Amino acid sequence: MNIAVFASGRGTNFAAIIRAVKSGKIKANLSLLVCDNPSAGAIKKAKLAGIAVGLIQRGDFASRQEFEAEIIRYLQAKKIKLIVLAGFMRILSNDFVLRFKNKIINIHPSLLPAFKGSHAILDAFNYGARITGVTVHFVDELMDHGPIILQQALRIEENDTAESLEAKIHKIEHRLYPEAVKLCVEGMLRIKGRKVRLTNLRSRTK
**How far apart are the C-alpha atoms of 35 and 117, rounded to whole Å?**
20
- What share of the chain in percent tops pLDDT 90? 91
Which residues touch 23 (CB under 8 Å, ≥6 apart)? Answer: none
101: alpha, beta or left? (left if phi > 0; alpha if psi -120 to 50): beta
Confidence of residue 194 (pLDDT cuts 50, 70, 90): confident
- The answer to whether residue 79 is domain-embedded is yes
Per-residue buried b or exposed e for 189-201, using 16+ beta carbons within 10 Å of the residue's own CB: beeeeeebeeeee
pLDDT in tens, 134-181: 999 999 999 999 999 999 999 999 999 999 999 999 999 999 999 999
pLDDT 10s digits, 43-87: 999 999 999 999 999 999 999 999 999 999 999 999 999 999 999
- Residue 105: which of 72, 147, 68 has the closest Cα? 147
Q: What pLDDT, on the 0 to 100 scale, is given for residue 202?
A: 43
User: For this structure, is 145 an active site residue?
Assistant: no
145 part of a folded domain:
no
Measured between its terminal Cα atoms, the distance across the chain in Å is: 10
Number of domains in the chain: 2
The answer to whether residue 144 is domain-embedded is no
Query: What pLDDT, on the 0 to 100 scale, is given for residue 6?
Result: 98
The residue that leads in pLDDT, 190 or 71, is: 71
Domain that holds residue 124: 107-137+150-206
Q: What is the pLDDT of residues 16-51, one digit of tens each?
A: 999 999 999 999 999 999 999 999 999 999 999 999
Q: Does the residue 67 lie in any domain?
A: yes
Residue 15 has pLDDT above 90, yes or no: yes
The verdict on 78 and 131 lying in the same domain is no
Dist CA 139 CA 121 (whole Å): 20
Is residue 147 reached through a cis peptide bond, with omega within 30 degrees of 0 on the bond before it?
Answer: no
Dihedral-angle region of residue 114 (phi above 0 means left; psi in -120 to 50 means alpha; beta otherwise): beta
Q: Which of 108, 137, 145, 170 is catalytic?
A: 108
In terms of domains, do 2 and 42 share one? yes
Instruction: Report the CATH number that the domain containing residue 176 is assigned in CATH.
Output: 3.40.50.170
Q: Which SS3 state, helix, strand or coil, does residue 201 take? A: coil
